Amino acid sequence: MAAPPPNILWIVTTQWRGLATGYAGDPNARTPHLDALAAGSVNYAQAVTPHPFGPFARAALLTGVRSPENGVRDYHDPLPPEARTIAHRLHACGYATAFFGKWHLYQRDPGAELVGGAHARIVVPPAWRGGFEFWEGFESGFLINDPWLHGTRLPEPVKFPGYQSEVVGARAGAWIRESGERIPDTGKEQAAESTPAIRSPVSGIKNHARPWFCVVSLEPPHPPYDAPVPRLDSGQAAGGRPRDPRAIVLPANVPLGTDVEVKARRELAGYYAHLEATDRAIGRLLAQVPEENTVVVFTSVHGDMHGAHGLFRKGWPHEESIRVPLLVRGAHQDGHGSGKRSEELVSLLDLPRWTLEWAGTRGPKTQDSKPAAEIQRISMPSVVRLPHQCDRVWRGGRTLTHKLVLNEDGVPWLFFDLARDPGEEHNLAGDPGRAAEMAELRRRI
């Protein structure tokens, strides 16, 4: 008898750099729960985002199609309601589907304040929720504490007290628990309606023993980095101890003795505090997830420069911005691969295809998602006119050993030998002796 399709959980964070975990060796990162997850997962250590900026990456992750082909070209573009997402495809395979947390793919007022209630209280209509049966989240707003949530059971935004990662994780955990209390499919609707688990104010979904797919989308460790975090000892209300900026270990590509160093230390002190707080929230969520026949994915839509090369925020093609963590637990039912570090070159664009394969269907092929890819394409489809963000449209390709980035007109902007220069401190784009290498990479981008 064939094994039933697995449950599938995506935990997607924002601005979490690929190397900013304890298991990846970051001396600043205290992430015991993710370290434990990594011990039972495949760690894709070379994972990249296709676009190092939120809406573009989120649209690509959900659809398996790059921006702008998926309909999201500009920072304020919504994901078109006709876009076909992984939720649509899994629903067609018999899955119950749910989304919790940050959406950032609906229409936003470009003139409104980015941080605060204006964007946090935008109501995303059901037709614009990516095909998820159950949806509970917020458009944006960057409220790391006391988020506003609305959705399937909350027609108007409701403010939930607490740290955002804890609140969203707890709501998702409740839905997952209830989805495990499955109803025998007797065909008697009245019996289903009388089952307490199905009448819960959280789920509201008649599961009928379906496997589930759940996306938990967390905003931290996104700015504002000085937002309070829960106390380290109790996980209670915000107000925890900040890190000491002087104790932060900086990589060699952050210029020392400058204002960049001062700003990087100050921001990273808050950043690592939010990493730690969100790691604890993820640990509490995972404690409610059945390990048997469940695939768990942990990743981030992009990273953050944090002073590397004198730059901040995202959108840049450097490793700090495009590299993301990617753990996958439970995809191999026999446990093969658990605790393994993979050097395979993968992209977030691989996740939709993998997920369909885990669910037992190949589905339509996604772009640039072939196994063991030799190059991954990366790009920024437009300039996001916000402070500190990348100042140009670019496209490029990254192999395990090299990275080439082209300006919009196709002229090389950056070329790095990652094998010899992992910190990307020597731009070789102007070196005539590397012209042949660049030409070959350019042909493959």
pLDDT, position 189: 31
What's the mean pLDDT in 182-211? 42
Query: Which is higher by pLDDT, 53 or 372?
Result: 53
Lowest mean pLDDT among 3-12, 22-31, 38-47, 178-187: 178-187
Report yes or no on 350 lying in a domain.
Answer: yes
User: Which sign does the torsion angle of CA 327, 332, 333, 336 carry?
Assistant: negative
User: What count of residues does the chain have?
Assistant: 445
Report yes or no on 410 lying in a domain.
Answer: no
Greatest alpha-carbon pair distance for the chain in Å reads 75
Query: Strands, DSSP E only, in 166-266?
Result: 212-217
Report yes or no on 92 lying in a domain.
Answer: yes
Is residue 120 within 8 A of residue 104, CB to CB? The reply is: no
- For 74, counting Cβ atoms within 10 Å of its Cβ (0-12 exposed, 13-18 middle, 19+ buried), the class is middle
Torsion angles phi and psi, residue 237, rounded to 5:
-60, 160
Q: Determine the structural domain holding residue 183 and report its residue range.
A: 7-379
> What's the CA gap between 58 and 51, in Å, rounded?
9
Report yes or no on 260 lying in a domain.
Answer: yes
| Res. 287: pLDDT tops 80 | yes
pLDDT, position 205: 47
Report yes or no on 441 lying in a domain.
Answer: no
* Band of pLDDT at residue 424, cut at 50, 70 and 90: very high
Tokens of 278: 């969100």
pLDDT, position 333: 52
What's the mean pLDDT in 239-252? 82
* Band of pLDDT at residue 239, cut at 50, 70 and 90: very low
pLDDT, position 243: 81
Q: Distance between the two ends of the chain, CA-based, in angstroms?
A: 44
What's the mean pLDDT in 275-291? 96
Task: Classify 18 as helix, strand or coil.
Answer: coil
What's the mean pLDDT in 243-256? 95
Report yes or no on 268 lying in a domain.
Answer: yes
Kindly report, residue by residue over 21-35, the tens digit of the pLDDT.
999 999 999 999 999
> What's the CA gap between 39 and 198, in Å, rounded?
35
Going by the DSSP 8-state scheme, the letter that residue 262 receives in this structure is: H
| Res. 58: pLDDT tops 50 | yes
Report yes or no on 428 lying in a domain.
Answer: no
Q: How many structural domains are present in the chain?
A: 1
Report yes or no on 249 lying in a domain.
Answer: yes
Beta bridge partners of 340: 42
* Band of pLDDT at residue 339, cut at 50, 70 and 90: confident
Going by the DSSP 8-state scheme, the letter that residue 48 receives in this structure is: B
What's the mean pLDDT in 279-302? 97
What's the mean pLDDT in 120-139? 98
Is residue 397 within 8 A of residue 377, CB to CB? The reply is: yes
The domain that contains 23 carries what CATH number? Answer: 3.40.720.10
* Residue 67 identity (one-letter amino acid): S
Q: Quick one: residue 370, left, alpha or beta (phi over 0 = left, psi -120 to 50 = alpha)? A: beta
The CB-side HSE value for 356 (13 A sphere, CA atoms) comes to: 20
pLDDT, position 280: 97
Lowest mean pLDDT among 211-220, 242-251, 419-428: 242-251
pLDDT, position 361: 78
Query: Which is higher by pLDDT, 430 or 182?
Result: 430
As a whole-number percent, the residues of the chain with pLDDT over 70 amount to: 87
Reported for 403-408, long-range contacts at CB under 8 A and 24+ positions apart, including other chains, are 403/317, 404/438, 404/441, 404/442, 404/445, 405/317, 405/378, 406/442, 406/445
Whose tokens are 């990589």? That residue is 251
| Res. 273: pLDDT tops 60 | yes
> What's the CA gap between 49 and 66, in Å, rounded?
11
> What's the CA gap between 269 and 273, in Å, rounded?
6
Query: Which is higher by pLDDT, 135 or 181?
Result: 135
Query: For the chain, what is the mean pLDDT?
Result: 89
How many Cβ atoms are within 10 Å of 271's Cβ, its own excluded? Answer: 27
> What's the CA gap between 389 and 221, in Å, rounded?
17
What's the mean pLDDT in 73-88? 97
What Å distances lie between residue 292 and 145, 203, 210, 333, 340, CA to CA? 33, 21, 15, 9, 19
> What's the CA gap between 184 and 246, in Å, rounded?
58
Query: Strands, DSSP E only, in 191-283?
Result: 212-217
Kindly report, residue by residue over 154-190, the tens digit of the pLDDT.
999 999 999 999 999 999 999 999 987 654 333 333 3
pLDDT, position 337: 67
Is residue 49 within 8 A of residue 58, CB to CB? The reply is: no
What Å distances lie between residue 381 and 185, 316, 345, CA to CA? 47, 12, 22
